[in-house]
Amino acid sequence: MTPVTIDDIRAAAMRIAPYVHRTPIMSSQLINTEAGCEIFFKCENLQKVGAFKARGAHNAVLKLSPEQLAKGVATHSSGNHAAALALAASHFRVPAYIVMPENAPASKVAAVRAYSGEITFCEATQAARESTLEALCKRTGASFIPPYDHPDVIAGQGTTALEIAEQMALAPDVLLAPVGGGGLLAGCAVASKALLPDTLVIGAEPAGADDALRSFHSGQWQPQPAPDTVADGLRTALGQLNFYLIRDKVDDILSADDATIIRAMRLVWTRMKLVVEPSAAVGLAVVLSHRQRFAGKRVSIVFSGGNVDIDTLPW
């Protein structure tokens, strides 16, 4: 039995519709010329909280029972998932407990606070995060909503590809989504294989954090020892559940180096006038790095988010 089906994704889409944006698909003739193919960018940088994470967080929160919901939700994250979970909880006026490392950037702390998330700081180690979260859930009764390796979160992220299938007049030849923890890619692959059977699904990963690529090609889940990439949203290790879904449903994973990711990000900022974070530019960077694979094709690329510190840009 598949842990996430197209029916789960359709149900998620109905569930989250009142709370998230149906984001537009945008194109740029200048970028098409530069890339040698026709690209349709799904703009999740324009999503609530500035990232696709709003989809999975809302779906997971909305699937809780009233009794569970009343006690609130919790997670450990310093990124977009934390802000997304805080926003989802705020609709129901229940607490979102967010465990963050004490060295988290001020901008991330501010984002979670802006959505009324209750932050508990801990030491900047994985062990401290997990033990702090566990104690917090035990004390409050809050439900832990993990950032990516959970069926409800994956189904929520998969609604991105459901919308792509609905919004595109002609099916794309390729759907490209970035892969970090793997929730977006896994969810999109399930939706795409059900709705766009002739579309290749390809994961886009930074060369400096390519555990999904190595796992996919070896057929065995590989750890991510020391990620080193400008794409801060994709430094996380591939989730184990996501690994199995990706192994079954995804056609390939390709990587791009940081120089090309930054070049792609600059192209989007200057040509499309859209603020995308480095992780969101990895799909375009993969196209620019593997031109022959995409030449002349119709390519749908997910811009995963737009949360970037505009005072410290990578150029």
310 forms part of the interface with its own copies (CB under 8 A): yes
The three-state secondary structure class of 252 is strand
Contact by Cβ (8 Å): 289, 260:
yes
Q: Which is nearer to its own copies, 45 or 59 (CB)?
A: 45
Q: Which is nearer to its own copies, 93 or 273 (CB)?
A: 273
Contact by Cβ (8 Å): 162, 10:
yes
Q: Which is nearer to its own copies, 70 or 114 (CB)?
A: 114
Output the smallest distance, CB 278 to its own copies, in A: 14
Applying CB under 8 A, what is the total number of residues that bind its own copies? Answer: 20
Output the smallest distance, CB 311 to its own copies, in A: 7
Q: Which stretch binds its own copies (CB under 8 A): 68-76, 162-170, 294-302, 305-313?
A: 305-313
Please name the residue ranges forming H helices in 53-209: 53-62, 66-70, 80-90, 106-114, 126-140, 151-167, 183-195
Q: 144 CB contacts (<8 Å, ≥6 apart)? A: 73, 74, 75, 133, 137
Output the smallest distance, CB 246 to its own copies, in A: 27
Output the smallest distance, CB 236 to its own copies, in A: 22
Output the smallest distance, CB 310 to its own copies, in A: 5
198 forms part of the interface with its own copies (CB under 8 A): no
Interface pattern 112-151 for its own copies (x via CB under 8 A)? --x-------------------------------------
- Adjacency order of strands within the sheet including 118-122: 118-122, 96-101, 73-76, 143-144
Backbone angle region of 141, left / alpha / beta, with phi > 0 → left and psi within -120 to 50 → alpha: left
Write the DSSP assignment of 149-182 as a string of letters.
Answer: SSHHHHHHHHHHHHHHHHH-SS--SEEEEE-SSS
Q: Which stretch binds its own copies (CB under 8 A): 23-31, 120-128, 165-173, 254-262?
A: 23-31
Residues marked as catalytic:
53, 304
Backbone angle region of 177, left / alpha / beta, with phi > 0 → left and psi within -120 to 50 → alpha: beta
Interface pattern 99-118 for its own copies (x via CB under 8 A)? ---------------x----
Backbone angle region of 296, left / alpha / beta, with phi > 0 → left and psi within -120 to 50 → alpha: left
**Can you tell me which of 50, 156, 178, 180 binds its own copies, judged by CB under 8 A?**
50
* C-alpha closest to that of 232 among 313, 131, 120: 313
Interacting positions 260-279 with its own copies (CB under 8 A): 266, 269-270, 272-276
Q: Which is nearer to its own copies, 122 or 276 (CB)?
A: 276
What is the binding site for its own copies (CB under 8 A)?
24, 26, 30, 45-46, 50, 114, 266, 269-270, 272-276, 306, 310-311, 313, 315
